[in-house]
Amino acid sequence: MQAGNHKPIDLSINTDLARRILTGFIHSEITRVGFTRGVIGLSGGVDSSLACYLAAEALGAENVLAVLMPYKSSSPDSLEHAQMVIDLLGVQSLTVPITEMVDPLFERFPEASQVRRGNAMARARMIVLYDQSEAFHGLVIGTGNKTEILLGYTTLYGDAACALNPLGDLYKTQLRQLAQAMGIPADILAKPPSADLWLGQTDEGELGFTYAEVDQLLYLLVDERYCPEECVAAGFAQDFVRKVVERIQRYHFKRVMPPIAKLSNRTVGYDFLYLRDWGT
Amino acid sequence: MKLSLALAQISTHLGNVTANLEKHLAIIEEARAAGADLLVFPELSLTGYVLQDLASTVAQRATSDNPVFHHLLQASKALDLVVGFVDEDPRHRFYIASAYLARGEVMHVHHKVYLPTYGLFDEGRFFAWGDSIQAFDTRFGRAGLLICEDFWHASPPYLLWLDGADLLLFTSASPGRGLNAEPYLESARWVEHINRAYASLFTTFVAHANRVGYEDGLNFWGGSTLFDPDGELLAKGPYHQEALTLVEVDLDQLQRTRTRLPLLRDERTALVRREMERILGNASR
């Protein structure tokens, strides 16, 4: 898809400041509720690697459990890169293949599309992570970034499931700056982003545009409150703007709690309002 | 005259007044031991910030028979204190409030006048609006209290200046936002900018105590400051970590600066009143 001919928009961040705020956030949100440890699904990609680096710095490497959850078709590179992160950081690790969990479902529904299979894999990984959360006495640290949250490029109750998310307000291109500053290996930074749910899948191939382009458009739409017409006037292609705006709206359901039908005078979510950090 | 000022940028427990009171008493002791004359705690320091439905359950009255204020008033016999709390009036309206305590007495209570209710803020939903901006006398001269959004508006500091305040005491629980390439957040840049401007424009001391810590995903950035009547930064706390920042304030600087730069002497208050009446009387504005 042609993204258009706009002026480049500077998305650079101060990585020292981001690092300080995010490690403080992880430490605060885990320890204030009585935990000391975190659990992370480590894919070998840049997002989960960065979450692992931040968690190790916030909690101490010994308090972080990196869980590798390959499916039989997962790229061998993914495991190798995940192992590289584990070795560099000295975090605890565990490998729990999900093949035996999801294959019976795929045998029962051989016609299942790639999307169904991908969702089932993401949700199987969620089950493993939350099981380890209890076993390891740690909270699940999410790895979703602002770009994929806004585009809805995530599996509800799958990779989106977590107890806290340090990365969700960083666009992918900003997250990469922080990953680079924290010393994440070049091999991990260099490879094309992929959910690795099927062979040859890449985020940018599936979405139909690059992170570099869409992050700039999202920044104008969301952070700067541009209307779609103003984005087109700024030089973004009309089709690209329309597609992104539609995605943001269509997938909003993934960003909110399921609506509760109001009957009483006081209802959770509407007029029973407390932060999660209530009392801590 | 010298004033040893202490700014306490603390993290708080959300909705746990007992735990926050303990922290206040420990820091008061630390400041006292360090020789502080006046210790300023941030906005809502006794309760935490995003209170929502907790507002009514954490509310206090700033009186000596209140168990929380009883301890603080006792402590104020050793040094003057500014504390942040939720004030409940006799008719059960809840205010974001700051109290100035000295020598065992409540010298002044300020109710936050401007309640931000936009963007990430929802204060107007849970709190009543304060309706008064008044300076008050302390043993260090006349002072004024404002809370966060109060000094994002230019008129409250101006009114305090005209009401005789030479020591502006600002408190905040400012959520950090606006990460870019700079080594500070946009919210920090803005607040430091305006506080320096108030100190310069009003040739006065401007102290700001801002909290740190997290509430859910919000971070609070600290960076408490003191600017002098020349607009010079005399002290600054670190960003994003608890700190007790102590600074010796030479109150005689007021005389030197105002001799050089008599902005207060030359302020045309009668003209301001005349023009305000004209402007406010004009229905179209």
What local confidence, expressed as pLDDT, does residue A5 receive? 84
Here the CATH number for the domain that contains residue B106 is 3.60.110.10
Using a CB-CB distance cutoff of 8 angstroms, which residues of chain A are in contact with residue B181?
Answer: 10, 12-14
What local confidence, expressed as pLDDT, does residue B89 receive? 96
Using a CB-CB distance cutoff of 8 angstroms, which residues of chain B are in contact with residue A219?
Answer: none
Using a CB-CB distance cutoff of 8 angstroms, which residues of chain A are in contact with residue B15?
Answer: 278-279
By the 8 A CB rule, do A58 and A29 touch?
Answer: no
By the 8 A CB rule, do B224 and B203 touch?
Answer: no
Which residue in chain B is spatially nearest to A166 when comparing CA positions?
Answer: B217
| B215–A contact, CB cutoff 8 A | yes
Residue A88 lies in a domain: yes
The ipTM of this complex is: 0.94
Give the domain range for residue A111: 15-255
Q: What is the mean pLDDT of chain A?
A: 96
By the 8 A CB rule, do B8 and B40 touch?
Answer: yes
Taking 80 as the threshold, does the pLDDT of residue A2 lie above it? Answer: no
Number of domains within chain B:
1
What local confidence, expressed as pLDDT, does residue B285 receive? 67
A279 with B214: Cβ contact below 8 A? no
Taking 90 as the threshold, does the pLDDT of residue A62 lie above it? Answer: yes
Residue A279 lies in a domain: no
What local confidence, expressed as pLDDT, does residue A6 receive? 87
| B258–A contact, CB cutoff 8 A | no
By the 8 A CB rule, do A212 and A8 touch?
Answer: no
pLDDT, one tens digit per residue, over A187-229 is: 999 999 998 878 888 999 889 999 999 999 999 999 999 999 9
Here the CATH number for the domain that contains residue A71 is 3.40.50.620
Exposure class string for A144-172: b at 16+ Cβ within 10 A, else e:
bbbbbbbbbbbbbebbbbbbbbbbbbbbb
Averaged pLDDT for residues A40-66: 98
Residue A275 lies in a domain: no
Using a CB-CB distance cutoff of 8 angstroms, which residues of chain A are in contact with residue B216?
Answer: 29, 275-277
Cα distance between residue B45 and residue B172, in whole Å: 9
B179 with A13: Cβ contact below 8 A? yes
What local confidence, expressed as pLDDT, does residue B282 receive? 80
Which residue in chain B is spatially nearest to A9 when comparing CA positions?
Answer: B180
Which residue in chain B is spatially nearest to A15 when comparing CA positions?
Answer: B181
Q: How confident is the model at residue A1 (pLDDT cuts 50, 70, 90)?
A: low
Encode chain B (285 residues) as per-residue pLDDT tens digits.
999 999 999 999 999 999 999 999 999 999 999 999 999 999 999 999 999 999 999 999 999 999 999 999 999 999 999 999 999 999 999 999 999 999 999 999 999 999 999 999 999 999 999 999 999 999 999 999 999 999 999 999 999 999 999 999 999 999 999 999 999 999 999 999 999 999 999 999 999 999 999 999 999 999 999 999 999 999 999 999 999 999 999 999 999 999 999 999 999 999 999 999 999 998 676
Residue A90 CB partners (closer than 8 Å, separation 6+): A56, A61, A62
B15 with A18: Cβ contact below 8 A? no
Which residue in chain A is spatially nearest to B182 when comparing CA positions?
Answer: A14
Number of domains within chain A:
1
Using a CB-CB distance cutoff of 8 angstroms, which residues of chain A are in contact with residue B14?
Answer: 275, 277-280
Give the domain range for residue B190: 2-281
Residue A207 lies in a domain: yes
| B219–A contact, CB cutoff 8 A | yes
- Give the residue carrying structure tokens 């499931």: A161
Using a CB-CB distance cutoff of 8 angstroms, which residues of chain B are in contact with residue A272?
Answer: 53
| A268–B contact, CB cutoff 8 A | no
What local confidence, expressed as pLDDT, does residue A196 receive? 84
Residue A176 lies in a domain: yes
Cα distance between residue B172 and residue B220, in whole Å: 9
Dihedral, B109, B115, B121, B126 alpha carbons, nearest 10: 70
Residue A271 lies in a domain: no
A275 with B53: Cβ contact below 8 A? no
